[in-house]
């Protein structure tokens, strides 16, 4: 066990004047071979640290709280209360246990009504779980247009669509990165010369920093997903830029150097 294959707890960092905190909801497991079809035992033998005892990746699930003075924004809203046992018939995910998002938000000093909006990287269930608790919702227009099912009906009249480059909160801009979903969005946080990119699900594991060309089974457009990862790795090859990978076990905050992930803390 190491930080590369354990669940993340609350962690806070600063980006200039912005205070940025991971809000844990819980943890899931991604099956390494099923999530990344085409990878081989040799590929994974080079990255044993990220695997648990069942050769799965440990995926932290939650959201990112961004505070500027008294103001607060959330990027993604966790999975909600989910308790799903491992099902061998599921080729992509294993056991999932989530539900602690609001308690952790409270531990960080915020109730939902003290968060001015939730900005979504995309609308998969593990990013929208607690959305009905919040007042205002920011979603990339193509993501909203391609949403599935009725689970977002409850917030539909409180959704505002956003576009590439929009500043949605002081120092926070939209970076369109379609691939995982049609309207997938990363967010660039910038303040006093420091930058941090919230990667969303452009990346699910730090190993993809070294292997942006690995196909992801659940990317809606696999070629676009690869293109988005290559572009982000280039963007991160910069001394003043850090990144946040929401599903990166307990190595969520870090930097890219020499095409590899270097966690902070």
| Site residues, Zn ion (CB under 5 A) | 126, 201
> Where is 221: in which H helix or E strand?
none
Whole-number Cα distances in Å, 30 to 47, 77, 182: 15, 19, 22
* Closer CB to Zn ion, 67 or 126, in the complex: 126
* Closer CB to Zn ion, 126 or 143, in the complex: 126
Residue 26 CB, shortest distance to Zn ion, in Å, is 12
Residue 28 CB, shortest distance to Zn ion, in Å, is 9
Residue 124 CB, shortest distance to Zn ion, in Å, is 5
Q: What are phi and psi of 46, to 5 degrees?
A: -85, -10
- 18's tokens: 């912005």
Secondary structure (3-state) at 66 = strand
* Closer CB to Zn ion, 190 or 250, in the complex: 250
Q: What are phi and psi of 36, to 5 degrees?
A: -115, 80
Secondary structure (3-state) at 139 = strand
Tell me which residue of 19, 3, 1 sits closest to 172, measured CA to CA: 19
* Closer CB to Zn ion, 162 or 216, in the complex: 216
* Closer CB to Zn ion, 133 or 184, in the complex: 184
* Closer CB to Zn ion, 119 or 171, in the complex: 119
Contact 209, 259 (CB under 8 A): yes
- Helices of type H across the chain: 32-35, 41-45, 101-107, 125-128, 141-145, 207-210, 222-236
Whole-number Cα distances in Å, 250 to 193, 220, 243: 26, 26, 13
Residue 201 CB, shortest distance to Zn ion, in Å, is 4
* Closer CB to Zn ion, 126 or 219, in the complex: 126
Residue 128 CB, shortest distance to Zn ion, in Å, is 10
In which residue are the tokens 């246990």 written? 97
Residue 192 CB, shortest distance to Zn ion, in Å, is 30
Dist. CA 57–CA 37, nearest whole Å = 14
Residue 24 CB, shortest distance to Zn ion, in Å, is 14
């Amino acid at each position: 066990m190491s930080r590369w294959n354990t669940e993340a707890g609350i962690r806070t960092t600063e980006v200039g004047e912005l205070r940025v905190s991971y809000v844990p909801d819980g943890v899931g497991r991604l099956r390494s071979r099923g999530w990344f079809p085409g990878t081989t035992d040799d590929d994974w033998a080079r990255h044993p640290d990220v695997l648990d005892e069942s050769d799965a990746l440990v995926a932290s699930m939650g959201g990112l709280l961004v505070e500027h003075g008294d103001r607060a924004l959330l990027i993604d809203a966790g999975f909600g209360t989910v308790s799903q046992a491992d099902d061998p018939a599921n080729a992509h995910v294993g056991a999932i246990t989530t539900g602690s998002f609001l308690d952790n938000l409270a531990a960080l000093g915020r109730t939902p009504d003290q968060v001015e909006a939730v900005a979504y990287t995309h609308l998969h269930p593990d990013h929208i779980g607690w959305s009905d608790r919040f007042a205002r919702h920011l979603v990339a227009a193509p993501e909203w247009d391609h949403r599935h099912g009725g689970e977002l009906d409850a917030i539909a009249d409180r959704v505002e669509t956003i576009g590439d480059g929009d500043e949605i909160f002081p120092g926070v801009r939209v970076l369109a990165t379609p691939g995982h979903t049609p309207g997938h969005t990363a967010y660039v946080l910038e303040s006093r010369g420091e930058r941090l990119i919230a990667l969303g699900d452009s990346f699910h594991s730090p190993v993809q920093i070294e292997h942006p060309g690995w196909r992801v089974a659940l990317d809606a457009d696999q070629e676009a997903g690869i293109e988005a990862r290559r572009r982000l790795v280039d963007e991160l090859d910069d001394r003043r830029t850090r990144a946040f990978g929401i599903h990166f076990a307990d190595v969520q905050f870090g930097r890219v150097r020499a095409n590899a992930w270097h966690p902070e803390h």
